[in-house]
Amino acid sequence: MNATCRMLLVSCFHLLMGIGLCPQAALAAGFASEKPGSEGDGNFIVGPGYTIDRDLTDLGNPKGKYFEFSLRLAESKIFRGDDTTLEPAKKEVRTERKIFVLKAKGYHHRYVFSKATGHCDKRVFELTLADTLVWVWRGYKAE
């Protein structure tokens, strides 16, 4: 850490101490001197019970199904585990792998394919952002 960063951190710490946002400042001021006592089981309810906002609930959206199973690599059509780049002498090659599948049910989706790019490529993001926003807001009715 260079000297400028160190000075900045020390200055911020002193500022926080001065306005009482650090635990040491609270202890020095006597705010945390209260003793909780030995009664009770340690469970506390803070605030009233709140109802969950309707927008945060399921709203009847379609649901998918989750599947989990094992697949022997010898039965796989994509990766049988006999690739020449694997080095069993250095690391054991698995003979079976777990497969996790979420079968979506009725969800809308958008697939963007681009050649010669990586995952989350900035160029693709910038070129497709406007179309993606139009796709997301399709069918939206203003109130």
Amino acid (one-letter) located at 87: E
Range(s) of the domain holding residue 119? 108-138
Tell whether 99 and 131 lie within a shared domain. Answer: no
Q: What's the mean pLDDT in 15-33?
A: 50
Tell whether 98 and 129 lie within a shared domain. Answer: no
User: Is position 27 within any domain?
Assistant: yes
SS3 call for 84: coil
Q: What's the mean pLDDT in 51-57?
A: 80
* E runs forming strands in 37-119: 65-72, 96-103
User: Is position 97 within any domain?
Assistant: yes
User: Is position 36 within any domain?
Assistant: no
User: Is position 90 within any domain?
Assistant: yes
User: Is position 96 within any domain?
Assistant: yes
Q: What's the mean pLDDT in 20-34?
A: 50
User: Is position 42 within any domain?
Assistant: no
Tell whether 20 and 4 lie within a shared domain. Answer: yes
How many separate domains does the chain show?
3
Who has greater pLDDT, 35 or 124? 124
Tokens of 39: 């009664």
Distance between CA 32 and CA 27 in Å, rounded? 6
Tell whether 72 and 97 lie within a shared domain. Answer: yes
Tell whether 97 and 112 lie within a shared domain. Answer: no
Q: Mind listing the pLDDT tens digit for each residue in 68-95?
A: 989 888 888 877 778 778 887 888 888 8
Does residue 62 surpass a pLDDT of 80? Answer: no
